[in-house]
Amino acid sequence: MLYIFCPHCGLRSQNEFAYGGDATVKRPELNKEISDKDWDNFVYLRKSPRGKHLELWHHISGCRQWIKVERDTSTHEIFKTYKADELTE
Amino acid sequence: MSQDFRLDKIGMVNRNKKISFTFNGKKYFGYEGDTIASALIANGVHLVGRSFKYHRPRGFFGVGVDEPYAILQLERNNERDPNIRATEQEIFEGLEVKSVNCWPSVNFDIGAINNFLKMFFPAGFYYKTFMWPPSFWYKIYEPFIRMAAGFGEASIKHDKERYEHKYEYCDLLITGSGPSGLASAYAAAKNGARVILAEDKPRYGGSLLTSDVNIGNQTGIEWSEKIITELKSMSNVIVKNRSQVFGYYDHNMLVMSERISDHLPKTQKYLPKQRLWYIRAKEVLISSGSIERPLVFGNNDTPGVMLSSAAKEYMKVYGVLVGKKPLIFTNNDSGYETAIEFKKNGVNPLILDTRKEPSSDIISEAKNLGIEIKFSYVVVAAKGYKKVKSADIAKISDNKKDLSNIENIECDCICVSGFWTPSIHLASQSGNKSEFNEKIDAFIPKKSKQKENTIGSANGKFTLEETINEAFEKGYEVSNKITENNNKVSIPTVVEKKSTEHDKFWCVPLPKGKSYKRFLDFQNDVAVTDIELALREGFRSIEHVKRYTTLGMATDQGKTSNLNGLQLVSDIENKVVPQVGHTTFRPPYTPVSIGAIVGREVGKHSKPTRKSPMHEWHEKNNAIFVDAGVWLRPRYYKQGNETLFEASKREAKNVRKNVGVCDVTTLGKIDVKGPDAAEFLNRVYTNAWLKLPVGKARYGVMLREDGIVMDDGTTTRISENHYHMTTTTAQAANVLSHLEYYLQLVWPELNVNVVSTTEQWAGAAIAGPNSRALLMKLFPNTDVSNEGLPFMGYKEADLFGFPAKIYRISFSGELAYEVNVESDYGNFMWEKIIEVGKEFQIQPYGTEALSTLRIEMGHVAASELDGRTIPHDASLEGLVSKKKDFIGKRSLSRSAFIKPDREKIVGVVPLDKTTSIPEGSYIVKDPKAKLPNPKLGHVSASCWSVEYDNPFSLAIIKDGKNMIGQKLFAMSPLKNKTIPVEIVSSHYVDPEGKRVRA
Ligand SMILES: [Zn+2]
């Protein structure tokens, strides 16, 4: 069970969180033309890297904030966590 | 039976407390503190099971977790507990155990015929034997494998015992209370660290219980007792026995199973049977010790062949002799300690030492005691079937290849010592890559992967002095890192016998013309020939060899077999062991009961139960409940002998005719507040929200980004910047997360807050033509006329002195209102509605009637919004704005979603007007078409229309709009029914929606 540092609450067990997928995906702006292909990429296509991955976690049983977690997908090492609005490195 | 093998003056069992138990139906006696193994050995019983594959007789090989085959089944009050190690389970009065893997009995086992058919059971026999023909699998192979395999039979009854989970945090977790565990725990605890010390056995001390050493001028046992007593008295230390740390998981989470009541005849009132500890440790010291390695020789699986350390522990801890004519077969000094212990207890052992001319303190001591020793000697093969009766021994040449002077000598046990294997399982589970240490011919942990260090013999330190010094140092070092204290305790002086080098010899060659089976893995019946065959067949990777031969698998996890297996592979391949590498050790280190893993989350406790404030009223009024997610909702209120069908029909009819009241507390409720709330809703919902006035409600549909409907519900503008959103019961939590996602990550510039208010409000839906009349009596001071409170209107009102909110919304399609009060007043509100509603013939209605009402109105719910439908499919396209953008809008123009014949919701009526259509039925044009019959769609929901008194269903079918009026068929292969139907509009009742606006 992972031990995740919530930037709002501190170190908490994984069972307080829900996984939210790739944090680098940016939603296309509203009211802007977008091709089928670009929209498909946004909705369906995700990289599944082995190694460093910036991902979203939702502290649902805690502060209910979405946070960004930089985690190694093969070793589970967590390098850094960020608040939703914090700039990532 | 008398205890012929019990020693009088030695051992730690309680001689004042005699305990009786039965093994395979026969009664035996032992003492408090005995394990099943020690008590049976005291009674001269060595045959306890049959081996996995060849069904060869099996006895005891070890004395604790190292035991590969004395695995029994515990039976008590018709309850079964399989996979019990005889060497770990303590006896208690009335204990009943029996052998597994043998039929009809352990003495006469039909499966033993496998032993004579062994050409059919080579390496990979599962893969080879049970291949062809496929039809044999079901009736012949599978039952055979099931009967032949396994270590017992699980109980199929409900386990009445209680199991608990516990979460604990500490600075330092130490796994094992041998010398290194005790010393490091003491040093760390004295330096202020919060320490948990876990011991899997009942007694603390590990190897100190059986070794002849001195620490700080005390015997090893005295010293360990002193340390444990002091640790127990410290408030920063938790000391646990009968507790196995069996898994090392991510981020220094370790899991420990504590056997609290397994050794007691009955679980005590306030104690669970077992407790599973989830321990998050800042640092871990793995002091799990080492396990003696077997030597490999012919028939080395015969009962009576066991580890020499086990024989010593049976004497010193349990006061039990494993034999009266022991043969000690060793390649190092450890065997001598066992021999000396035998001698001290009046038994004359014979030592066979594979080494040529070793000399050390302990060898001299053995010689001085007059123990007979043969150097450069080996056991060629054990003789005897159910118990060792003699052994063929021989002189071995200096190059260890040739045997000479083979002779047979009488003996009743063979105690083997092939040196020691550090237990690196936990370190390996942590991710630590191990390295091969040539000095000890074994792997030790290399670089710590997580915050863990391995100490003592688990780290290859085999002298007590090294171990004690290292442990005190590590305990201080690690605690200093955490507490920053500098309290160093002094390290006691250690006196121990010096030993000399071991012999790298591990496997006795076969004499000419003999083909004895020489076992490597005793639990999984893997012999030398199996590994040889696997390599001949081309398996190279050790991971493949493991799976093909089953070496090091199952509950044993290679505790005694791992290294000898690797030695053999590297010998054949002309490699050295580190080139071969070792397989991955996986948790659990020892078997863990399913009960402990599940804990308290059993039956109703597997998830929380949510009840509305009116729950008690429902109970008192004969409500039959149904699970709605984690909520309990009344399905119907039973009157007399009514069936579900009759009751729901009555309730629904009463809504259409008079007035009904339904508990809608479970609906998700979310407060949406802030200056940008309208803009936010406008992006979340498919329809327009910017112009909704204060005091008005609106129905909305929200999509996922892929265009699929996520949820629907009404949202009301309570004040300028405050909206009250409702969601379906099931989606409430997901919708909140969804809203938070967009507010926090996608549009943080929007000034909006959302919070769940589901549990703050109790809700009652009042529906039916009489509902307004009832409302006028409930709220005499509020104008609830059609003008004062029109359809989709909202008002705050006073309910007999309590604040209430009235929403004029309708799910039933009738004139209806939803009244909300604060949860604490829910029951008051409900009772008032029932009381005042009497004169209007009010009846409560449950979810079944609610379904009927919404289905015949064509209102969609979860069975239509099933994660596959877009607004068009549910005839909700009128709510999709063409002007503004919203979540998921772009997906709606994808080609599959704009196909002209896309599925759409329709109504379905059976032509005979009597046959109900099973939910899930296919709608087809031709019921006799060749299979697979091309289906147009499926029936999503069915009811008995109370308006027309005939069955009515909703279906989502291809080109639904143009199908209306057609005669088709509903087919349910599951129910074996084909029903001729007519497709009608999904709005079966009041298609113009006059009633809700009345
Ligand atoms: Zn948090």
Same domain, B190 and B267: yes
Residue with tokens 């550090």: B422
Touching check for B280 and chain A: CB below 8 Å? yes
Residues of B in contact with A85 (CB under 8 A): 744, 748
Across the interface, whether the CB atoms of B746 and A27 are under 8 A apart is answered yes
Domain A3-24+36-83, CATH number (from 3.30.2270.10, 2.10.10.100, 3.40.50.1000, 3.40.1160.10): 3.30.2270.10
CA of B242 to the centre of ligand 1 (A): 37
Which CATH number does the domain housing residue B414 bear? 3.50.50.60
Same domain, B310 and B273: no
pLDDT at B111: 59
- B616 CA: distance to closest CA in chain A (Å): 29
- A80 CA: distance to closest CA in chain B (Å): 14
Across the interface, whether the CB atoms of B890 and A39 are under 8 A apart is answered yes
Amino acid B275 reads R
The count of other CB atoms within 10 Å of the CB of residue B985 is 15
From the list A2, A20, A43, the residue facing B250 with the nearest CB is A2
Same domain, B180 and B273: yes
- Report residue B133 as tokens: 């023909």
B889 Cβ neighbours under 8 A, 6+ residues apart: B686, B703, B707, B880
Same domain, B572 and B628: no
CA of B736 to the centre of ligand 1 (A): 16
Which CATH number does the domain housing residue B541 bear? 1.10.10.1100
- Report residue B807 as tokens: 């929403």
Residue whose C-alpha is closest to residue B88's, from B108, B109, B106, B71:
B71
d(CA B415, CA B329): 6
Same domain, B431 and B402: no
User: Nearest residue on chain B to A23, judged by CA atoms?
Assistant: B745
Do β-strands B26-32 and B14-23 pair in parallel, antiparallel, or remain unpaired? antiparallel
Residue B449 domain flag: yes
d(CA B46, CA B182): 34
pLDDT at B127: 58
pLDDT at B523: 87
CA of A7 to the centre of ligand 1 (A): 7
Query: Helix, strand or coil for residue B73?
Result: strand
Across the interface, whether the CB atoms of B740 and A58 are under 8 A apart is answered yes
- pLDDT digit string (tens) for A29-77? 999 999 999 999 999 999 999 999 999 999 999 999 999 999 999 999 9
CB pairs under 8 A between A and B: 55
Same domain, B461 and B548: no
Same domain, B189 and B269: yes
Residues of A in contact with B705 (CB under 8 A): 27, 42-43
Q: Is this prediction's ipTM beyond 0.95?
A: yes
Chain A interface test: which of B249, B276, B744 (most A C-beta within 10 Å): B744
Report how far apart the first and last C-alpha atoms of chain A are (Å, whole number).
26
Same domain, B583 and B466: no
Residues of A in contact with B748 (CB under 8 A): 84-85
CA of A12 to the centre of ligand 1 (A): 8
d(CA B254, CA B813): 56
In terms of Cβ atoms closer than 10 Å to its own Cβ (0-12, 13-18, 19+), residue B966 is middle
Which residues surround the ion ligand 1 when the cut-off is CB under 5 Å?
A 6, 8-9, 59, 62-63
Task: Tell me the domain boundaries of chain A.
Answer: 3-24+36-83
- pLDDT digit string (tens) for B35-71? 999 999 999 999 998 877 777 888 999 999 999 988 8
Contacts 24+ apart (CB under 8 A), B575-581: B576/B436, B577/B436, B577/B441, B578/B435, B578/B436, B580/B542, B581/B542
From the list B251, B705, B745, the residue facing A2 with the nearest CB is B251
The last residue of a domain, from among B576, B591, B606: B591
Residue B776 domain flag: no
d(CA B260, CA B363): 42
Residues of B in contact with A22 (CB under 8 A): none
- A9 CA: distance to closest CA in chain B (Å): 16
Same domain, B436 and B480: yes
Same domain, B167 and B117: no
Across the interface, whether the CB atoms of A31 and B885 are under 8 A apart is answered yes
Q: What is the DSSP string of B173-222?
A: EEE--SHHHHHHHHHHHHTT--EEEE-SSSSS-GGGGT---EETTEEHHH
User: Nearest residue on chain B to A58, judged by CA atoms?
Assistant: B737
pLDDT at B604: 85
CA of A77 to the centre of ligand 1 (A): 19
pLDDT at B53: 75
pLDDT at B121: 57
pLDDT-flagged residues of chain B (< 70) = 1-2, 77, 101-151
Domain total of chain B: 6
Residue B950 domain flag: yes
- pLDDT digit string (tens) for B93-144? 999 999 886 655 666 665 565 665 555 555 665 556 555 555 655 555 555 5
**Residues belonging to chain A with any Cβ–Cβ distance to chain B shorter than 8 Å:** 1-3, 13, 18, 20, 27-28, 30-31, 34, 36, 39, 42-44, 56, 58, 60, 64-66, 75-76, 78, 84-85
Residues of A in contact with B740 (CB under 8 A): 58, 64-66
User: Nearest residue on chain B to A59, judged by CA atoms?
Assistant: B737
Query: What is the reported pTM?
Result: 0.90
Across the interface, whether the CB atoms of B253 and A76 are under 8 A apart is answered no
pLDDT at B629: 87
Same domain, B198 and B279: yes
- pLDDT digit string (tens) for B534-562? 999 999 888 898 888 888 887 888 899 88
CA of A15 to the centre of ligand 1 (A): 12
d(CA B549, CA B566): 13
Domain hosting B620: range is 615-661
pLDDT at B100: 80
Same domain, B325 and B258: no
pLDDT at B1: 47
